[in-house]
Amino acid sequence: MLVRKLESGQTDIDYKEFRESFLESSNSGSRHPKGQIRPAESGASELMAQSKYSEIVQTTKKILSIDYTNMHAHKVLQQTYKALKDEANRQKYHDIDLGS
């Protein structure tokens, strides 16, 4: 429910509750597919260096589909949308990244 709110742009949520809800989810702990996230994060960094913005969005959204609390992915999206001059999405991911 909180992820749907955030993705719709409703960033005025209880971020402590949001992060704690991830700990209770099936994606946390030993079941967390970290092996899928690390290569995607590395790939996103390479794509950023090449300014391949649509691929960056696709890669970081893949990360967020596994772990929506991944602040690195939110930061990358924030920077990507800033480069694309998409202020609404830049602000959304900025707010999620900072938990504000």
42 sits in which H/E element:
helix 34-49
Residue 41 lies in a domain: yes
Question: Residue 13 domain-assigned?
Answer: no
C-alpha distances in Å from residue 59, one per residue of 19, 41, 74, 82, 97: 21, 8, 11, 17, 17
Is residue 10 a part of any domain in this protein?
no
Q: Is residue 2 part of a domain?
A: no
CA within 13 Å, CB half, 97: 14
Q: What is the pTM of this model?
A: 0.76
Q: CB under 8 Å to 100, separation ≥6 — which residues?
A: 11, 15
Per-residue pLDDT tens over the stretch 12-62: 999 888 888 777 765 555 455 556 777 777 778 888 889 999 999 999 998
What is the number of structural domains in the chain? 1
Given this model, what pLDDT does residue 40 score? Answer: 77
Would you say residue 18 lies in a domain?
no
Domain contains 22: no
**pLDDT tens readout for residues 59-89:** 999 889 888 888 889 999 999 999 999 999 9
First to last CA, the chain: 18
pLDDT digits (tens, 9 = 90+) for 57-66: 999 998 898 8
Q: CATH no. for residue 74?
A: 1.25.40
Tokens of 40: 């995607």
Residue 50, in any domain of the structure: yes
Q: What is the residue range of 42's domain?
A: 34-100
Q: Considering the domain boundaries, does residue 94 fall inside one?
A: yes
